[in-house]
Structure 1
Amino acid sequence: MSTEVLPRPAIDDPGEPSRPSGTILGILFAAAGMACVGSSVAVSTTITDAPLFTLQTVRYALAALLLLGVARLTGWRVPRPRGREWLWLAGVATAGLVLFNVGVVRGVAHAEPAVIGVAVAAVPMLLAVVPAVATRTLPARPVIIGALVVTAGAVLVEGFGRTDAAGVGYALLVLACEAGFTLLAMPVLPRLGAFGVSFHSVWMATVGMAVVGVATEGPTAVTTLDTVDLLAALYLAVVVTTIAFLLWFTAVRRLGSGRAGLLTGVVPVSAAALGVPLHGVVPGPMVWLGTAVVALGLAVGLRGRTPQG
């Protein structure tokens, strides 16, 4: 693949971050991407008996092929990483995709799903604070306040659950990996763009997940996947990986990690909302309260101009 980048598609254009239109688009992209991620909760309930690491390998392989197919059909060229960019992308794939899934799968064996969900709910704070610490700058006060409020709202939506010491450890691993998915992509997003970061991290994750799958579930586990499993993998590949990744990384370029991170609060809200048409489960008072708190946090954290860079 060529290292020369042809004109990027509109979804991959960072635009001018300080323009209101660019900020609004970034917010819409991030919210839509996180809504896609939230929809995975409904799909995940259908694959609890499947060899999960093997299924994730199929998911990422399908997503990589889909991204490559889109690039070929549209004439877009995927930029080849250079030098240390390979290491950043390997970090995105290893931490944000492979280890994240390992943490979730192993974590639910020691903790109720709500515990893992609460860990993920704390991601906005890391995405706001870590870049500021790395650059020795003060994080924007509205973003910090908004992140705290969004986290509190997401915790109300998720609820609390029982766990043991190992469950806490896996929850912290999931938190670090979820934040790393975005933070490790930041150095390479300016040149590779949302499409390049998505494609390279996904094919790398395919390789890593295949190794984990073979080691834990055996090389023949793929033959045990039934039609429902494969349809779930296809949905995860198209909606939760290809579309969500492109929307998310485009939003991060437009908003920065801190403001974009606030929109992760959409995930538990969208998951709860989907429970109504899919399972007939009407959200309880705490979910409604948490949704209102998330909305308040977004209003606080997203106000004002998005800083350059």
Structure 2
Amino acid sequence: MTTSTQPATPIERTGRPARPWSGPLYAGIGMALVGSQVAVSGVLADAPLFAVQAIRYTLAALVLLLVLRCTGRSVPVPRGREWAWLAGVALTGLVLFNVGVVRGVAHAEPAVIGVAVAAVPILLALVGPLLGHTRPTPVVVVAAVVVTLGAVLVTGGGRTDAAGLGYALLTLLCEAGFTLLAVPVLRRLGPHGVSLHAVWIAAVALWVLSLATEGAGAVLTLRPEHLPATLHLALGVTVVAFLLWYTAVGRIGPGRAGLFTGVVPVASAVGGVLLGGPVPGPVVWSGVAVVVVGVVLGMRTVSGSESEPPQRPGPNT
């Protein structure tokens, strides 16, 4: 049990109690937006990866800065070790994750990488509460296993080699790092602050990677049809999804929020159909049903032992 004497009900920065349904709703929408990347992956297949990602995060940082200014918020300035946590979020969840996916598909079928990412709910359910000095909630851990099994059914399997398994493990750890490494700084910096600093740090790293591996002229190879896809990644998949996700993590805790990462393959499957792809078979739809069961099971628990402590306004917010 937690030794904190703070109330279990999350408090928004405005001082108003957070609505109990807002955390799950934000997590679900945020992960659905992440899953919508399938809509642009084909368009960007022949574009320089690191250049596109660098542009994506640069645009996202500018938009987040504009949002802070327009809403009257000051830019929260990290202190001391907070820089290390934010660098960890950026370099694992945003930079190395992309490297792992790109290098991994050269050694393994994409479904193998997808299966690795599908295991994220279990890792968040086990490790997330420990960062808040609480114990994992058994029901949430069981729900995470159910969500993972459902996501695996949706994603399917594939062939791989030893290197492919290594890259799959890397993507799993990096995807989990995106959430777990943000937990220690989320309370003071808030979703806006964590998102802003993570994306600009990632943008700098990706510009360096692009220049080193793709050359200075990589940006010039982008075609007009690449622009809408890059804008979707920057605005929908980064700005909106990041803000929704980190808000949800702050309200319902990383363990329960992690259940909604199972929405990603579901949204990808549905998006594929909407884009004219073949209708998935019964195994995929059964996987979708299992994911739903797992999420419902995890969110039915009423114990506040895993929730993050209330978010208090910091001096820079």
Give the match for residue 154 of structure 1.
151
Paired position in structure 2 for 1:294: 291
- Contact 2:128 2:253 (C-alpha < 8 Å) held by counterparts: no
1:179-234 superposed Cα distances (whole Å, 9 cap, x missing partner): 00000000000000000000000000000111111111111111101112222111
Partner of 2:251: 254
Question: Shift in Å at residue 139 of structure 1?
Answer: 1.1
* AA at the equivalent of 2:254: S
CA apart distance, 1:138 = 3.3
Size of the aligned set, in residue pairs, is 296
Matched, 1:229 2:216: no
- Structure 2: runs of 5+ lacking an equivalent: 1-10, 310-317
Q: Distance in 2 between matches of 1:15 and 1:167?
A: 47
1:30 lines up with 2:27 in the alignment: yes
TM-score when scaled to structure 2?
0.90
Q: CA deviation at 1:287?
A: 0.8
Alignment partners' CA distance in 1, 2:142 and 2:172: 19
Does residue 283 (structure 1) correspond to residue 300 (structure 2)? The answer is no
Query: Judging changes above 3 Å, is the alpha-carbon distance between structure 1 residues 38 and 159 closer, same or farther for their aligned structure 2 residues?
Result: same
Q: Counterpart in 1 of 2:125?
A: 128
Percent identity reads 61
Query: 1:91 aligned to 2:101?
Result: no
- 8 Å CA contact 1:93, 1:181 repeated in 2: yes
The more displaced of 159-168 and 127-136 is: 127-136
d(CA) in 1 for partners of 2:118, 2:15: 26
The one-letter code matched in structure 2 to 1:49 is D
Q: Which amino acid aligns with 1:213?
A: S
Q: Distance in 2 between matches of 1:122 and 1:251?
A: 19
**What RMSD, in angstroms, separates the aligned Cα atoms of the two structures?**
1.7
Cα distance, 1:269 vs structure 2: 0.5
Equivalent position to 1:196, from 185, 188, 193: 193
Deviation at 1:15, TM superposition (A): 5.8
- State the shift of 1:131 in Å: 3.1
Unaligned segments of structure 1, at least 5 residues: 1-9
Residues in 2 aligned to 1:268 and 1:140: alpha-carbon distance in whole angstroms: 25
Q: CA deviation at 1:75?
A: 2.0
Give the match for residue 79 of structure 2: 82
CA-to-aligned-CA distance 1:262-294 (integer Å, 9 cap, x gap): 000000001111112212421211110000100
CA displacement, residues 12-34 of structure 1 (integer Å, 9 cap, x when unaligned): 769657xxx33x11000000000
Question: Following TM superposition, by how much is the alpha carbon of 1:74 offset from its aligned partner in structure 2, in angstroms?
Answer: 2.4
Deviations 1:94-118 (A, max 9, x none): 1110000110111111111101110
Range that drifts further, 233-242 or 134-143: 134-143
Over residues 7-64 of structure 1, what are the superposed CA-to-partner deviations in whole Å (9 max), with x where a residue is unaligned?
A: xxx98769657xxx33x11000000000000000121111111110111000000101
